[in-house]
Amino acid sequence: MASFTRMDESTAEQWATIGAETFAHQERVADHVLEMLRALAGITDGFNVDQLTHSLQTATLAERAGASDEMVVASLCHDVGKYVSVPNHPAIAAEMLRPYVDDDVYWVIRVHQDFQGRHYYHHFGGDPDARDQYRDHPAHALAEQFADEWDQRAFDPDYDTLPLEHFEERLRELFAAPKSL
């Protein structure tokens, strides 16, 4: 059955086919996220480690601190937006994760730069207490743990960082199952 050439002529049957096809190809989401993560190996921009190493190290620290699988995968993906654009990278990464994680995990990634700012915003004349605007958020403590104990510490080339393969199965499981549309 040929599909439509314009949406205002579409039928429910055609949409059922599109829905089934999209679902059948869900695996490509994880493939593409993994491709983006691998591409972070090519971005260093003056840091001591490339962005893939930083991402892996953030996830390694999260895992070793006993974080949930969702939070470990989110930690791995938190800077993946840098593949596209650094200034808005938290929003890009957070929206990529959003259908697949709990609201709190989404939120931690969405605001992570303002929490991270505690450790470097003063170099730019920014407000190191930018995180305080979120003081009443239920995931505030998790965002602090993420920024203070994992993300801001994950620039050490000598740390025993786990490889991407270590996280791949959990990443594939997470991106295989959207919780919302």
* Residues in touch with Fe ion (CB under 5 A): 79, 151
Q: How far is CA 99 from CA 7, 59, 122, in A?
A: 25, 20, 34
Q: Which is nearer to Fe ion, 79 or 114 (CB)?
A: 79
Shortest Å distance, C-beta 158 to Fe ion: 18
Shortest Å distance, C-beta 155 to Fe ion: 9
Residues 6 or more apart whose CB falls under 8 angstroms from that of 54 comprise: 40, 47, 79, 154, 155
Cβ(145)–Cβ(153) under 8 Å?
no
Shortest Å distance, C-beta 70 to Fe ion: 17
Q: Which is nearer to Fe ion, 57 or 100 (CB)?
A: 57
Shortest Å distance, C-beta 133 to Fe ion: 20
Q: Which is nearer to Fe ion, 63 or 151 (CB)?
A: 151
**Tokens coding 34:** 């993994």
Q: How far is CA 119 from CA 59, 98, 127, 128, in A?
A: 19, 26, 10, 7
In whole angstroms, what is the distance from residue 103 CA to residue 135 CA?
A: 17
Q: Which is nearer to Fe ion, 77 or 139 (CB)?
A: 77
